[in-house]
Every structure is written in C-alpha cells, then in structure tokens.
Amino acid sequence: MVWNQIKTALLLGALSGLFLFVGASLGGQVGLITAFSLAVLMNFVSYFWSDKIVLFAYRAKEANPADYPRLHQIVEEVAKKAKIPKPRVFVVPSPNPNAFATGRNPKHAVVAATTGILDLLNEKELKGVIAHEISHVKNRDILIGSVAATIAATISF
C-alpha cells in the first residue's frame, strides 16, 4: 500500500518536473511560473477529482440499488471479503463489456460496470470481474490510474 502512494508521488513529481522543464524551455521565467501554476492545479485536481472526471468522461450514472440489486450485492459481498468499505457503484451506458475502479482511496472509491458486461456475464463471472476491480481499490492502484488518466488528458490539451 505504501509503495503505491510512493509511486503516485513520484509520478506526480516527475510529470510536474516535465511541465516545469517544458514551461521554462518554451517561455523562460514566465513559462516556468505558468507551468508551475498548471502543475499545482493539475496535481490538486488529479488527487481530488480524477474519479469524477473519469466518471463524467464515461457518462457513468450511480447505480440505483433497486435497478441493479445483483451488482450492488456482488460489490458489497466482495468488498466485505476484502475488508474495505463498499465502494459507490456506477453503471456506464455502453454495450462494450468493461468494468473499472476509480477514486483516491478505499473510502472514496467507485466501481463501475458497463451495461454490456452486466448483460453478458453470469453471476460467477461478474463476481470475478468485480473482485479484480476491488483488488485495485484495496491495493490503492486506483489513484495511480486515475491520476495518470487526468495527467494524460492535461498533456494532450
């Protein structure tokens, strides 16, 4: 767990350093100050809102327990076995079979599944997929993935 937090800090530090280098190379002192401001903003946004950005990008909606009882039951059961709080559950309106986890830590985690995977898999298969995603939550891999996705979008911009 600690190693993933170190990796996240190193990733943010390295990409911030890259921003500063490019800013200074392209704009001198003004470019460096601009890049520093962007790096601070990017790191702040990445840490606190990367999960919301990912969910927005996928048009994910929070899954109502009445509409998705099987999915909620599986997420709750697997989270309990993993000894973490139950993540919030979202559904992505897409026929493509996929699932993912996002968030900055187990207390702020989200597990999302597409309508395609919900239609395709039986309960045992879906439980395996959800267990895989919960393992990302438990091991705090989700923050690195979320931060990397946000940083990639920022660099692309």
* Catalytic residue list: 133
What is the token pair recorded at 152?
């990639």
Q: Using CA atoms, how far apart are residues 51 and 35, in angstroms rounded to an integer?
A: 24
The token pair that represents 157 in the structure block: 């911009």
Q: Which amino acid is located at 88 in the chain?
A: R
How many Cα atoms are found within 13 Å in the side-chain-facing hemisphere of 67? Answer: 9
Indicate the DSSP class of residue 58: T
Q: What ranges make up the beta strands (E) of 13-146?
A: 61-62, 88-92, 99-102, 110-114
Strands 88-92 and 110-114, bridge-based pairing: parallel
Distance from C-alpha of 17 to C-alpha of 36, rounded to nearest angstrom: 9
